[in-house]
Amino acid sequence: MGEYIAALALWSPQSFEDADDAERAAVCNGLGPRGWGWAVPDRIMGLSVTPAGDIHDWQYSEAHTHSDRLQADLTFLRNMIVIIMKRDIEAGWWEKRLTYMRLCRALKYFLGVWRFGGSFMN
């Protein structure tokens, strides 16, 4: 199972992969709405999940339908889980104890963006 998780990569649209740093910086800002990042930490118990937030921001900037939004939100959750589980594989016994709590926080982030994020789409 560990080898499978270690091989997982973050999902992102091709347009995100093709964008340069300046294009990404214009759209992406980690977690939380631009200017409100202080309200939503980019770290879950010390672990940065910023890449998941940046991909989510990018997908929201390209979203036009509720289906696009759902895809972005589910990708956000999936990418946070991948980041957390990859860290769990590398972590020592003490940090492994944080995995469950990190997963619960990731679910809260997902539920928050699903509940309140619609006005920030596109």
Report DSSP state, residue 118: G
pLDDT tens, position by position, 88-118: 988 888 888 999 999 999 999 999 998 887 6
Distance CA 122, CA 111 (A): 19
Q: Does a structural domain hold residue 15?
A: no
Sign of CA dihedral 85, 69, 57, 10: positive
pTM score: 0.89
Specify if 44 maps to a domain. yes
Q: Which residue range(s) make up the domain with 51?
A: 34-120
105 belongs to a structural domain: yes
Greatest CA separation found in the chain?
44
Q: Which residues pair with 43 in a beta bridge?
A: 48
Q: Does any domain span residue 3?
A: no
Strand blocks (E) in 16-114: 43-44, 47-48
Task: Taking residues 9-35, report their average pLDDT.
Answer: 92
